[in-house]
A and B are shown apart, each in its own frame.
Chain A
Amino acid sequence: MVDIDVKKIVAGEFSWKTLPPAGMIEIPTSIEYKTGTWRIEKPVIDQSKCTKCLICWIYCPDMSIKRMFDGGVEVDYEFCKGCGICAEVCPQKAIKMVEE
């Protein structure tokens, strides 16, 4: 297998020789993309209202709701794109979208 330097690929430094065959790349490249910079609004959780029902965790399309050891949730702001789905689905209205 070719030794793949993901950082270089992300930086646009590659040729057909250095790309993995068929794009079968080992290290999930999405970790290198800090999509948190895309946000216009960010979700803020009011932990006093949260019932730990995990509906936001299920619905988040970017795996940016993190489950914590106490069973509750926090937002991973490095990756959250601010789509607002979590705020929309929260049955307790515990999540609010706040301007960055």
Chain B
Amino acid sequence: MSELRPLRKMALTGDEAVAYAAKQADVDVVAAYPITPQTIIVERLSRYVADGELNAAFIQAESEHSALSICIGAALAGARTFTSTASQGLALMHEVLHIASSMRTPIVMAIANRALNSPLNIHCDHSDVMNARDTGWIHLFANNVQQAYDLTLMAFKIAEDPDLLLPVSVNMDGFILTHSVEPLEILSDEEVRQYIPHIPYPYRIDFDRPLAYGVMALPDTYMEFRKQLFEVTRKAPQVFRKASNIFSAISGRSYDLLTPYFVEDADVIVIALGSTIETLRYAARRFRERRLKIGVVGLTMYRPFPEKEIVDVLENARCIAVLDRAYSYGGVGGPLYTDILSTLYKNQIGVMIADFVYGLGGRDLKLTDIEQLFNKLFKSLEVGRFDQDIYWWGVKDD
């Protein structure tokens, strides 16, 4: 099927690509508040609405807290709902994030990952979404602009699946992807319609069948509702795969929860999120030319955490480096590191592992930084241990 399709190649920035996907998804309501580096997404969407290319209610709220609250109301009314934010904006949404997932509203949100204050910084890191990781949202990560477009379309399919009905975030690295022009292949409007037809939200507000929304639950029922959320999020991996299979049949591009690269025979495996994955792959290929076997694992789905799949790729690893673009201050390590540690322990896998905190506030992870990192890993493997558990990679030190 994909061979017969005419190629529709475009060059777009990550922000433009996500806005284009939301337009093709024919969203009914967009409620947002501008914040760099996400602003171009909603700017584009407001233009599509103003030019009559998209029939949607575009609502500029007075804050991100209100924007997401509006999205919840719209989603309950049965509207296909989209928003996007970053950094402080996501932080301001925080209490509403929990409400969106526990009220089972299939909202799609793009997050242009950006550092948190202070000091003020508008550049990329993952501190914003890591604060939101325990909110019951499905969190997806794009490695490039094509993936940002594809995952936005898939996010609607996943969020609106009647077995799931949960909000989904699509994360892309601020500036590195949001403001990068890259080539991508797009679907036709008709293909998108086929892929994500508007299906009625099963609990939509309906005067002929009134439901109770946002109920209060006392100690005798609250825990049962939370157990429901626990159970339903566990269905997300299979819903993701279903959404991916259909997407692959239409687009020819397929996605899995993880992107293992050269892991089968790797002596050292590096795990990360976002745009860094592709730079790591490029560097890993160069190391393989010198017979140094590095494997790279990216997580397309970060929440729920693809525990089983992680075990499958790490089972036989001899040395693991986790790259964290955020830190859990006062905690055991960076958020991804902590997740991997728990997964390994639960599955009785004892292997040398360390956390590498990098790229905070947009600090570029240069190829030379990666080469030094890889060299460090091989040296540590040789002596059989890391000399630290948490490295701050690329920080100026004396």
Given contacts A1-B202, A22-B103, contact A16 B224 (CB under 8 A): yes
Q: Does A25 contact B (CB under 8 A)?
A: yes
Q: Does B213 contact A (CB under 8 A)?
A: yes
Check B212 against A19 for contact (C-beta < 8 Å): no
Say how far A21's CB is from chain B's closest CB, in angstroms. Answer: 5
Check A24 against B231 for contact (C-beta < 8 Å): no
Say how far A24's CB is from chain B's closest CB, in angstroms. Answer: 5
Check B224 against A25 for contact (C-beta < 8 Å): no
Given contacts A1-B202, A16-B231, contact A23 B210 (CB under 8 A): no
Q: Does A12 contact B (CB under 8 A)?
A: yes
Q: How far is the CA of A7 from the CA of B339 in the complex (A)?
A: 43
Q: How far is the CA of A6 from the CA of B104 in the complex (A)?
A: 21
| CB neighbours of B104 from chain A (8 A) | 21-22, 24
Q: How far is the CA of A21 from the CA of B102 in the complex (A)?
A: 9
A interface residues, tally (CB under 8 Å): 14
Q: How far is the CA of A22 from the CA of B211 in the complex (A)?
A: 11
Say how far A76's CB is from chain B's closest CB, in angstroms. Answer: 19
Check B213 against A24 for contact (C-beta < 8 Å): yes
Given contacts A16-B231, A29-B212, contact A23 B220 (CB under 8 A): no
Check A28 against B212 for contact (C-beta < 8 Å): yes
Check B212 against A16 for contact (C-beta < 8 Å): no
Chain B residue at smallest Cβ distance from A23: B215
Say how far A32's CB is from chain B's closest CB, in angstroms. Answer: 13
Q: How far is the CA of A28 from the CA of B212 in the complex (A)?
A: 7
| CB neighbours of B225 from chain A (8 A) | 16, 19, 22-23
Given contacts A16-B225, A28-B212, A29-B212, contact A21 B203 (CB under 8 A): yes
B interface residues, tally (CB under 8 Å): 23
Q: Does A15 contact B (CB under 8 A)?
A: yes
Check A22 against B224 for contact (C-beta < 8 Å): no
Q: How far is the CA of A68 from the CA of B53 in the complex (A)?
A: 52
Q: Does A14 contact B (CB under 8 A)?
A: yes
| Chain B positions 207-225 with a Cβ under 8 Å from a chain A Cβ | 209-215, 217, 220-221, 223-225
Check A26 against B211 for contact (C-beta < 8 Å): yes
Q: How far is the CA of A1 from the CA of B104 in the complex (A)?
A: 13
Q: Does B227 contact A (CB under 8 A)?
A: yes
Q: How far is the CA of A53 from the CA of B103 in the complex (A)?
A: 40
Interface centre among A1, A19, A21, A23, by most chain B C-beta atoms within 10 angstroms, is: A23
Check B221 against A21 for contact (C-beta < 8 Å): no
Check B210 against A19 for contact (C-beta < 8 Å): no
Q: Does B228 contact A (CB under 8 A)?
A: yes
Check B227 against A25 for contact (C-beta < 8 Å): no
| CB neighbours of B102 from chain A (8 A) | 22
| Chain A positions 52-99 with a Cβ under 8 Å from a chain B Cβ | none
Chain A residue at smallest Cβ distance from B223: A16
Q: How far is the CA of A14 from the CA of B215 in the complex (A)?
A: 17
Partner of A15, one of B202, B220, B224: B224
Chain B residue at smallest Cβ distance from A1: B202
Q: Does B354 contact A (CB under 8 A)?
A: no
Check B202 against A14 for contact (C-beta < 8 Å): no
Check B203 against A16 for contact (C-beta < 8 Å): no
Say how far A19's CB is from chain B's closest CB, in angstroms. Answer: 5
Q: Does B159 contact A (CB under 8 A)?
A: no
Q: How far is the CA of A48 from the CA of B322 in the complex (A)?
A: 82
User: Residue-by-residue, is A1-45 near B (CB-CB < 8 Å gives 1, otherwise 0)?
Assistant: 100000000001011100101111110110000000000000000
Say how far B96's CB is from chain A's closest CB, in angstroms. Answer: 15
Chain B residue at smallest Cβ distance from A29: B212
Say how far A66's CB is from chain B's closest CB, in angstroms. Answer: 19
Q: How far is the CA of A47 from the CA of B377 in the complex (A)?
A: 89
Check B203 against A19 for contact (C-beta < 8 Å): no
CB-defined A-B contacts under 8 Å, sample of 10: A1-B202, A1-B203, A14-B221, A16-B227, A16-B228, A19-B221, A22-B203, A23-B217, A26-B211, A28-B212
Given A23-B212, A24-B104, A24-B211, 20 more A-B residue pairs with CB atoms under 8 Å apart are A1-B202, A14-B221, A14-B224, A16-B223, A16-B228, A19-B221, A19-B224, A21-B104, A21-B228, A21-B232, A22-B102, A22-B203, A23-B214, A23-B215, A23-B225, A25-B212, A26-B210, A26-B211, A28-B212, A29-B212
Which residues does B use to contact A, with CB under 8 Å? 102-104, 165, 202-203, 209-215, 217, 220-221, 223-225, 227-228, 231-232
9 closest A-B pairs by beta carbon, nearest first, are A23-B215, A16-B224, A16-B227, A24-B203, A24-B211, A22-B104, A25-B212, A22-B103, A19-B224
